[in-house]
Chain A
Amino acid sequence: MSAMTLAASLRITLLATLALAAMPWLLSDFALSLTLSCLMYTGLAVSWAMFCGATNYLSLATSAFFGLGAYVTAWAFGDLPYLAIVLLGGACAALFAALVGAAVLHLRGAYFAVITFGLGELVRHAITYYEKSVHHTVGRVVSDPPAAETVYLAVLAIAALAVCTALLVRHSRFGLALRGIGADEGRAETLGVNARLAKASAFALSAFFAGALGAAMAVRWTYIDPPAVFNPFIGFQTVLIAMVGGAQTIIGPIVSAIVFSLLTEFLRLRFPYMFLIILGAMLIVLVLYLPGGFASLIERARQRRRKANA
């Protein structure tokens, strides 16, 4: 993707989005739900990589943002139109990320990862406590959910928006500042980057997509309760997809989101424990032997070709 111009990449994204928008009328229900899950993980992984890939901050907060978005749906569904809820879910997650980011983004490395790892648990326990003590309930039922096509188109729009935003950020001064922070934060600040502001806004921006996806997907569960929506597996899978694909790129997470979602759908229900064991082993092997993700293989091949031509 680095060889392509911004305009060309945006054009391809737009064409792919238009083609995918026709799918609800072409595919079977099963194939459509597969595509939906691919799109969801594309959005999650691309938005995760937008912040974490560029800045080298390891955030494990995706499931917190996703769950928060889902709970916005649980609370507001029926009172507000679906589209407004999706946007509101994203906005809530972004606001939460901005607040958390302002407090903890001066921590690097393990500290940051640890805080964000616990964030999901924190939000989950807070919501459970609130629901139990104020509303005397644990889960909520979504009655009369929107049609499957509506959900699909909403998720498609968010995923496409995430890819476009990632492209725009990548080719902007903002993206350059983020990459500068990732390479050497002190140097970036010396060169005039407001690191704190850049990090917090990128963190909030990436959280927006996770929150919006959570809000959009929540209506598919009819019954919403904390263990389901704060499932750490969603966050784990997002990080895994982005790292495996190559978090420094945009095409890497997209391709690996598709591969992993298909794998998950086919294997997870049939062999739940075995699947996670294999996934864990795969993650270890990949981190040890291919830390740049599969995109680094392509990059390496391209460099070799360039050298051969020269």
Chain B
Amino acid sequence: MSFWIELAATGLITGGIYAVVALGLNLQYGLMRVMNISHGEFLMLGAYLTWLAYTVLGVNPLLSLPFVAVALFAVGVGVYWLCFRRILGSAPSVEVIEARSLLVGFGLMFLVQNLAYLAWGADLRGYAFLDHAVDLGGVRLMANRLVVFGFAVAASLALLALLRYTLIGKAVRAMMQSSTGAQLVGIDTATLNPVVFGLGLALAGVAGALLSMVYEISPGMGEPYTVTALIVITLGGLGSAIGSLLGGILLGLVEAFGMHFTSPSLKMLLSYGVLIAVLLARPQGLFKR
């Protein structure tokens, strides 16, 4: 019995990370139709910032979490002003915005990833943090994984609460429904777009920081997470925040159990099987009304 609980816990922990990564991407897409394919690269930056803070300055990774979030937020606002503002302002239709932002995302991916290679080399890096097992009613789990799961869920729920209960969240939701309508009732879309883009990258950075506590990091680590995040937001529905949270956790569980019953090298195939099945059966996403 405890074996199955451990397996489920592994799935939940991975799923929590997936949810945080996907939430950021989905927020950007839902609001601006910007499909930022370089999302995982900013996750990698977050991971490296945390690793640097720990190995060079000796800062506790949990302490550097808010700083990483703020730094990535600033990067996000900068990237928005340099790249995506012009696309959103000049493109004639939503489809053109999607196509061009995807290409810019590819450019950013190559740019950021290779800058990281140049700066830190291709070696795997890592540090030990809370790597002892804890016993929870007969179930043994690594302490760092539990911490990571806790923070991932907390970050996701904080974002959901922000969207649901605050005025800025209300404005963002209004913009997701209709950008023009939101402008008509006096919402300043020109200010909110960069803020939300920054928020998306801040979430990616937090996810990267959390991942660095558990896994080894490398400049190429972000790409698989981008693909997974794309799968998750397709599962949960484009533009649906709660869908991303549930979709992420679902995918984590499917992967954990699927890999147990088949083989670890089939992880990607499993995710894709789920994605294609969902796209054929419910293209609008599992959790979208």
Contact = CB atoms under 8 A, between A and B. Distances in A.
Interface string A53-68: 0001010000000000
B103 A122 contact: no
A280 B276 contact: no
B114 A277 contact: yes
Interface string B251-289: 000000000000101101100100110011001000000
Contacts of A277: 110-111, 114-115, 118
Given A129-B265, A129-B266, A113 B107 contact: no
B29 interface: yes
A280 B102 contact: no
Interface in A278-293: 279-284, 287-288, 291
B99 interface: yes
Contacts of A236: 106, 110
A131 B30 CA distance: 40
A58 B110 contact: no
Contacts of A287: 87, 100, 103-104, 107
A173 interface: no
A121 B268 contact: yes
Bin the interface of chain B by size.
35 or more
Contact of A118 (B115, B118, B230): B230
A109 B103 contact: no
Interface string A264-300: 0000000001101101111110011001000000000
Interface stretch (A35-43, A100-108, A151-159): A100-108
A104 B110 contact: no
Contacts of A165: none
Contacts of B106: 236, 239-240, 280, 283
A243 interface: yes
Contacts of A56: 95, 99
Contacts of B114: 273-274, 276-277, 280
Contacts of B98: 58, 109-110, 113
A128 B33 CA distance: 34
Contacts of B234: 111, 114
A115 interface: yes
A284 B35 contact: no
Contacts of A288: 83, 86-87, 104
Contacts of B104: 283-284, 287-288
B231 interface: yes
A280 B272 contact: no
A273 B121 CA distance: 10
Interface of A is mostly: helix
Of listed B106, B114, B272, residue having the most chain A CB within 10 A: B106
B152 interface: no
A125 interface: yes
B37 to A, nearest CB: 7
A280 B109 contact: yes
A118 B283 contact: no
A20 B113 CA distance: 38
A83 interface: no
A129 B272 CA distance: 14
A126 interface: yes
A117 interface: yes
B103 A114 contact: no
Given A122-B272, A129-B263, A273-B118, A110 B102 contact: yes
A260 to B, nearest CB: 14
B107 A115 contact: no
Given A126-B269, A277-B110, A288-B83, A117 B103 contact: no
Contact of A113 (B35, B96, B231, B266): B35
A106 B279 CA distance: 10
Given A129-B269, A287-B100, A288-B87, A121 B118 contact: no
Given A109-B94, A111-B283, A129-B266, A284 B108 contact: yes
Contacts of A125: 265-266, 268-269
Contacts of B268: 121-122, 125
Nearest to B29: A110
B103 A103 contact: no
A171 interface: no
A132 interface: yes
A284 B83 contact: yes
Contacts of A239: 103, 106
Interface in A130-149: 132-133
6 contacts: A103-B279, A107-B283, A109-B99, A129-B269, A239-B106, A288-B86
Query: 9 closest A-B pairs (Cβ-Cβ)?
Result: A280-B110, A280-B111, A283-B107, A284-B107, A280-B107, A125-B268, A276-B114, A273-B114, A110-B35
Given A110-B98, A118-B230, 13 more contacts: A56-B99, A104-B276, A110-B35, A110-B102, A122-B269, A129-B265, A132-B265, A239-B103, A273-B114, A273-B115, A277-B115, A283-B107, A287-B100
